[in-house]
Chain A
Amino acid sequence: MVRRLSVFGRWESFLLVLVVVTFLLGSASSSAFATSANLSAAAASYTEVALIALPMTLIIIMGDIDLSVGSVVALASTALGRMTMEGFPIGLSVVLVVLLGAIAGAVNAVLVVVLRLPSLVVTLGTLTLYAGLARVTLSAGGVAQFPSFVSNFGSGYLPGTLVPWALLVVVVAVIPFAVVLHSSHLGRQVFSIGGNAEAARYSGVRTERIRFVLFVISGCVAALAGLMLTARLNTASPDNGTTLVLTVLAAVLLGGVSVFGGKGTLAGVVLAIVLLAAVQNSLSLRDVNSNTQQIAIGGLLIFSVLATDGFSRLRAWLQDRAETGRRTGASAGMPGTREPVTTETAG
């Protein structure tokens, strides 16, 4: 039986500490850091990453991956631009673009789930395919003539606050993903698929259906993020979103989701996004050049892999000791020096 460690032993708690430290260092190093205007702008620039990271978390926990999301963003952006050029009403365009995202996701799903091809290869292929389609959709330059509703959404805030509209979308979206993943039967099935897909199938989990639906959702959400990015930049361009996927993956893995599936929490991923945004913002405020920033963020990712590995080894070791302690009985009377530490931490 798996025993839960105390809150101090969790990766999420460690991330929270890192976030707090980054905020403290950020505030100490620049007076502009802890201003609401700065935090608002920094949060806005990570909304698309955050939104896409939600389905990505579930997909990676399930043992799959979706690399095509950045290109779906570009495709959504160019599709919106094209439809606006052709005079479609904005409401209809938005619906059609999300539908297009669903189709893009469904193409991935058919290849991965129905034809049983590896998702890494399939979505690497559709990454290039959708990027090409985006360039065809809007071949020359960008479109910047949108109804004022679009730019108001992209650059505006909730009335009376500095909370970007897009952040509200993210907050609202987090809730259903968190509930499904962590407190529903479906969520447990997602974990079990990632843990052992064969075993999950034999125990009655409809693995195909769940994987299919998640790829479709990933496409829809990426398209939605594409609309948000287009609104934020007030520009439809095939270049939009092309660099997003690496940041999304960095956030999900930094958040403690296992790249082999079966493990991870949405809270960890959300904390990782806040951490990445805060690190990048505070480095930018210090005029640290972007190459150095990339080194810092890459280092953070490597560190997280090492640290999560260390964490799980530590956890296994502690559990092992606790089990051994119980099995040999009479732990109270054992002369081992490290015994008290074990019982406390595993409690």
Chain B
Amino acid sequence: MRKSVLAGAAVLMALTACAPSDSDTAAGSPTDKATNNACGSNAKIVSMPKAASFPYYDAANVGAEKAAKELGGSFSEVAPATIDAAAQAALIDTQARKPDVCALMISANDRDALNPAVKRARAAGKTVITWDSDISEGTQLYISQASNEAIGTELVQSLAEQIGHKGKIAFLVGSPTQANQNIWLDVMKKELAKPENKDITVVKTVYGEGQDQKATQEIQSLLQQYPDIAGMIAPDAANMPVAARILKAKKLGGKVALTGLALPSQMKNYVKDGTLKSFALWDVEKLGYLSYYAAHGLATGKIKGEPGEKFTAGEAGEFTITDDHQVELGPLLFFTKDNVDNYSY
């Protein structure tokens, strides 16, 4: 048995021994050894969404691939299996070590948890931008889908109108740590505090955790707990179809108002059969398209990333970098039964 102890120790020794072999990278500035000093227009850009296999990110990929084709760059997607910040941080570290990768475009699972990994990636010479969901420090640009103000206020206004500015409502959100949704919640609460909405009360905030089963349970128990609920706002594309499915099954369509952010393909049938009037999103394809243009521009030096700088993102037009290093895609896009068929994602 002592042998196995020694074997275990030996393996760890081996692991530790191979690590320090080029200690100069750690001691000095790793940028010296950085590999991508020359990212040409064929730059390889990796998108790192929150998790794999979401139709939302697939739509963004379509836009990013289109941009890659126009610019002559390459594009690939790398994502954790579930919404998990630690797993995403590990993936960032892995990509940062690949000599052929020029830039990373990240939709962050956590506002703070990716900062150390992004710092290491930057030190290894990679261009890093965030899109869709930001981090608190280290990103060179944040491509935001729409201004947080617009998302929060327009969703509340749409719902308030549908319920005649009175009644009980609930928020159906993803998880308590998702940065973007927390900001929208704050904006929505501010909008609800306005005098015209004084008769609206928020009775509950429900977390779907990005899982169909969890969301189903939570929304069903919400409807049982508050049978007189007037409306629900879901700023989370995973909760929207679940909520619509439940409303339809319980024949509550038109009685309980529902609005939120979702993909047209998820909700197409529900707006057509009247389960809900409208829902919103930004142009996801265009978001991926713009993000790729920004990452590519920064990696190749065409964009400096300075406040006030203007750049053109192909057919999406001209954008300006704000003082806090953001680029905003534009206002919300509302989908109704009349226009929902115009969008393929």
A41, B175: Cβ atoms under 8 Å?
no
B22 to chain A, nearest CB (A): 5
Closest residue of B by beta carbon distance from A145: B112
With A42-B94, A178-B8, A238-B176 as known contacts, state yes or no: A284 contacts B23, CB within 8 Å.
no
- A290 is contacted by which of B1, B81, B86, B120 (Cβ under 8 Å)? B81
Contact with B along A134-147 (1 / 0, CB 8 A): 01000111111000
Contact A233 B89 (CB under 8 A): yes
- Residue of B at shortest CB range from A237? B177
Cβ–Cβ < 8 Å partners of A171 in chain B? 12, 16
Q: Let me know if B20 is at the binding interface, CB within 8 A.
A: yes
Contact B52 A140 (CB under 8 A): no
CA distance A239 to B182 in the complex (A): 15
CB B329 to nearest CB in A, in angstroms, measures: 24
Residues on A with beta carbons closer than 8 Å to the beta carbon of B113: 142, 144, 233-235, 237, 240
Say yes or no: is B84 at the interface (Cβ < 8 Å to chain A).
Answer: yes
Interface string of A155-170 (1 = CB under 8 A from B): 1011011110001101
Interface assignment of A265: CB less than 8 Å from any CB of chain B: yes
Whether the pair A39, B18 counts as a contact (CB closer than 8 A) is yes
B97 touches A37 (CB 8 A): yes
The answer for the CA separation of A70 and B52 in the assembled complex, in Å, is 23
Pair A291/B94 contact, Cβ less than 8 Å: no
> Quick check: is A268 within 8 A (CB to CB) of the other chain?
yes
A289 with B12: in contact, given A157-B26, A183-B2 (CB under 8 Å)? no
Among the 9-residue stretches B72-80, B142-150, B252-260, the one with 4 or more Cβ atoms under 8 Å from chain A is B72-80
B38 an interface residue at 8 Å Cβ cutoff?
A: no
Given A32-B99, A270-B11, A161 contacting B79 (CB threshold 8 A):
no
Contacts of A140 in B (CB 8 A): 176, 182
**Cβ-based interface call for B15 (8 A):** yes
CB neighbors of A among B73-114 (8 A): 76-82, 84-87, 89-91, 93-99, 110-114
Q: Is A293's beta carbon under 8 Å from chain B?
A: yes
The residues of B that contact A31 with a CB separation of less than 8 Å are 99
> Closest residue of chain B to A34, judged by CB?
B18
Q: Which residue of chain A lies nearest to B15 when distances are taken between CB atoms in the complex?
A: A43
State the A residues within 8 Å of B (CB).
12, 16, 19, 30-32, 35-45, 135, 139-144, 151, 154-155, 157-158, 160-163, 167-168, 170-171, 174-175, 178-179, 182-183, 229, 232-235, 237-243, 265-268, 270-271, 274, 281, 284-285, 287, 289-291, 293-294
10 closest cross-chain pairs (CB), A and B: A161-B20, A144-B112, A267-B4, A41-B93, A267-B8, A233-B113, A290-B81, A235-B113, A235-B112, A45-B90
Q: B residues within 8 Å of A by Cβ?
A: 1-2, 4-5, 7-9, 11-12, 15-16, 18-23, 25-27, 30, 46, 52-53, 76-82, 84-87, 89-91, 93-99, 110-116, 119-120, 124, 136, 175-177, 179, 182
